[in-house]
Amino acid sequence: MSFAELTRARYSCRSYEDRAVEPEKLAAIVEAGRIAPSAHNNHPTRLIVCDTPEARAKAAKAAHNFAKDGSVFGAPVVLLACAKTNDAWVRRQDQMNSSLIDTTIVVDQMMMQAVDLGLQTCWVCMFDPAVAREEFGLADDVLPVSMLTLGYAADSIAEPDKREARCITREEFVL
């Protein structure tokens, strides 16, 4: 599958089969995140792999609006991407901390790797970071940034015309 095809095949999956993700696929997804680029190669992202009932329940507690079957959207795996903000590169001119950008790149690479392996994902930012911090016992310098649910889709992607209608036009996108 070409990268262009991969980007068109990806969608926000909100319903998953009751089927485990194979360990080798999960390992490949985690590796895609581990090798993602980061500003100044500081690699401030840390990952919590929620692939047990207990860990998925903790993630679901933080993302309670999307809790389903003891997980987030019923996914067999939830990845919680966190940033160690103190480890990130900081731009001198305006003190912009790269940790959120770096962590976003990690999640994006894992998401695309999952789709390439026949899985689907949903990028979740609507969760309570304070609950995630408490549930997972995170240190003060570890910021929960986003979750990535993954598994085998039990729903399907919208038709191309419906997907296109939800996208910004090229004229609006390019300044």
pLDDT at 163 over 90: no
Residue 160 pLDDT > 90: no
- For the segment 37-47, what is each residue's pLDDT rounded down to a tens digit? 999 999 999 99
Question: How many whole angstroms from its chain centre is CA 142?
Answer: 16
| Matching CATH number, 3-173, of 3.90.660.10, 3.40.109.10, 2.40.30.10, 2.40.40.20 | 3.40.109.10
Domain boundaries, the chain: 3-173
Distances (CA, A) of 65 to 16, 61, 72, 137: 16, 9, 9, 21
Give the gyration radius of the chain's Cα atoms: 17
Q: Which residues pair with 48 in a beta bridge?
A: 80
pLDDT at 21: 98
Q: What is the pTM of this model?
A: 0.95
Query: pLDDT tens-digit profile of 9-53?
Result: 999 999 999 999 999 999 999 999 999 999 999 999 999 999 999
Query: CA 32, CA 28: separation in Å to the nearest integer?
Result: 6
